[in-house]
Structure 1
Amino acid sequence: MTAVDSPQVDITRPSVARVYDAGLGGKDNYEVDRAVLRAILAASPDAMVAARDNREWLIRITRFLAGQAGITQFLDCGSGLPTAENTHQVAQRLNPEATVVYVDNDPIVLAHGRAILAENDRTHLVSADLTQPDALLAHADVRRYLDFSQPVALYQIGTLHHCPDPDEVRAFMRTYVDALAPGSYVAISHFHNPGSGEDSAAAQRMQALMSGGPMGSGYFRTSDEIGTFFAGCEVLAPGIVPASEWWPDGPRMKPLVRPQRLFVAGLARKT
C-alpha cells in the first residue's frame, strides 16, 4: 500500500469520520466526537439506522460494479475509518485484480488505513481534499494506480452533504466526471430534504443541529438538487431513493423510519 503523510490529530474538534465511527460502535473516536453523536441521537434516536443503510448500500453497489458491471478500478473519496466490509474487500472478493484508491484527509483515517492496508498491493490510500479535484486527480499515486482511459467507479458516499455550497459541489463534480472514461460510474449518497411535510421540517432541524454545532456541516438537499451532482451521467433505476430501497437484498418487512427517509443514494453511468 502507498505510504501517506498524516497531519496531526486535533482532538479538540469533532471529525466526521470519527463521529460516524462512534455511531457504528467503533473505538477510533474521542469524547468530542461522542458528544456530537449524543446530540444527534437526542434529536433523532434512530439516526444510526441510516448510517448502517449507507454501509450496506456501499456493499451492494460494489458487488454490482465489480461483478456484473466489470469495473476493476475504484476511487473512493472521503472513505472514512476502516470498518467491516470495506470497498476493497467487497470488490477484491469478486475480482482479486480490482484496484481501489481511497482518499481522505482525516489523520486518524490515514493512520489506521495505512496499518490495515499495508499488505494489500492493489489497495492504496492517499491524503487529499475531495473538494479539490484538480489536485486530487493529479496526485502521483492516483495517476500511478488508476488508468483514467478505462472506466473507474467514483464514490462520493456520505461526503457531499458536508460541503455547504451546492454550486461548488456541482463544479467540482463536473471536474471529476469530465476526467472519467465512458462506461465509468458515479455513486453518491446524501442527506435528503423531501421539500415539504414533517420530514422536511425534521431535515431542517437536523441541518441546523449538525451545521450549526461543533461538527460544522451536514446539509440536507432535495432529490432534484442531489441529482445535479451526477454532472449529466445517466442515473440508473431505481433512481435517487432511500439507500435501503436501492436494490434491497429482500422484501421490506417494516416501514422506513424517518432517518432512512432522510438519507438517499443513487448510482449513475457515464455514457
Structure 2
Amino acid sequence: MTENPPAGIDISTPNVARIYDYMLGGKDNFEADREAAEQIIKAFPESREGVQLNREFLGNAVRHLAGDAGIRQFVDLGAGLPTQNNVHQVAYAVNPDVRAVYVDNDPVVCVHGRALLASSPNVAMVESDLRKPDEIWSRVLETGLINADEPVALLLVAVLHFLDDPYAEVARLRELMAPGSHLVITHLSSKDDRSGDTETMRQVYSRASSGVVPRTVADIQRFFGDFELLDSGDFISPRALERFAVLGWAGVARKP
C-alpha cells in the first residue's frame, strides 16, 4: 500500500488488521505495521507460519460447514481486511447460494472492505464492535442476507485475544444463534515456557490499535459454552493442528 494514504488513515500507529495482512504476505500495510510484525516474528519465529495455519484452519472449517454441515450463511466477526481466499469465496466454491456478512469495528477497514467486496454477490460488510453483540446482530440482519431463524456459522477467528474479557458478549451471541448453528474460534494460547516471548508480543500490540490477551486452552474452550465441540481432525490434518498448537488453539462447535 502506498505510504501516502487517504485522509483519516493513521499510518504511524500499527494496526492489527494490517499486521495480519503483512504476515499473510499482503500489500495492505504500512511501515509501522511491518515493523511491528517483524518484532512479533522475532519473538515468535513461528508466528508467520501460525498466521498461515490459522488461515488454513479457517478455510477447512468453512468448506466443512458449507458442505457436510449444510450451512448457507456465514458471519465473520473481526474480519479485518479482505484478502485471498476469503470466507465467501471458499464457501461459494462449495455452494454458490451461500451468503456472507463481514463485521469489523475499524471504519477504515470497513470502507476498504466494501470497496474490495463491491462486485461480490450475496456479500456485505458492516461496521460494529464485538463488545456490542445485540448491535452486531441487528446490523447483520439489516443486510437482508442473514435469516435469524436458520443455522448460521459465526466466525471468531483470531479476534477474541484482542479483548480483555469478552465471555458475556460471546455468550449473548450464542443465545442469538439458531439451533444447528456453528461457532468457529481460533485464539492465541498462553504457555508457561514462552512467557517471556509472550510478554514481548504484548508490548508490541500495546503500541498497536489493540492489546493482546493470550489464554489457556481451557479458557479458550469456555467461549463455546454448552455447544458440542466437533473433532477438528475430520476436516483438517492432525499435523497442521499440531503445528498450529505452538501458538494457538482452534475449534468448531455446534449449537444443539
Q: TM-score, normalised by structure 1?
A: 0.84
- For the 8 Å contact 1:203–1:220, the answer to whether it is kept is no
The CA RMSD over aligned residues, in Å, is 2.3
Q: Which moved more, 1:145-154 or 1:37-46?
A: 37-46
Match of 1:217 in 2: 211
Query: AA paired with 1:131?
Result: R
Could you list the runs of 5+ residues in structure 1 that have no partner in the other structure?
Answer: 1-5, 239-244
Task: Please give the secondary structure, in 2, of the residue aligned with 1:129.
Answer: coil
Match of 2:199 in 1: 205
Q: Does the alignment pair 1:179 with 2:176?
A: yes
Taking structure 1 as reference, are residues 211 and 15 closer, same or farther at Cα in structure 2, changes over 3 Å only?
closer
Taking structure 1 as reference, are residues 140 and 57 closer, same or farther at Cα in structure 2, changes over 3 Å only?
closer
Match of 2:255 in 1: 270
Could you list the runs of 5+ residues in structure 2 that have no partner in the other structure?
Answer: 1-5
* Deviation (angstroms), 1:232: 2.0
CA distance in 2, matches of 1:12, 1:141: 35
CA distance in 2, matches of 1:37, 1:203: 14
CA distance in 2, matches of 1:222, 1:203: 15
- For the 8 Å contact 1:103–1:127, the answer to whether it is kept is yes
Query: AA paired with 2:226?
Result: G
Taking structure 1 as reference, are residues 29 and 96 closer, same or farther at Cα in structure 2, changes over 3 Å only?
same
| Seq. identity, % | 38
- For the 8 Å contact 2:43–2:201, the answer to whether it is kept is no
* Deviation (angstroms), 1:109: 2.4
Q: Does the alignment pair 1:148 with 2:145?
A: no
- For the 8 Å contact 2:126–2:140, the answer to whether it is kept is no
Q: TM-score, normalised by structure 2?
A: 0.89
Alignment of 1:119-138 (within 5 A): 119-138=119-138
CA distance in 2, matches of 1:206, 1:220: 12
Taking structure 1 as reference, are residues 142 and 263 closer, same or farther at Cα in structure 2, changes over 3 Å only?
farther
Taking structure 1 as reference, are residues 184 and 234 closer, same or farther at Cα in structure 2, changes over 3 Å only?
same
Match of 1:189 in 2: 186
Aligned residues: 250
Taking structure 1 as reference, are residues 206 and 263 closer, same or farther at Cα in structure 2, changes over 3 Å only?
farther
Q: Does the alignment pair 1:248 with 2:236?
A: yes
CA distance in 1, matches of 2:89, 2:54: 16
CA distance in 2, matches of 1:7, 1:120: 26
Taking structure 1 as reference, are residues 202 and 115 closer, same or farther at Cα in structure 2, changes over 3 Å only?
same
Of the three residues 224, 229, 232, the one matched with 1:230 is 224
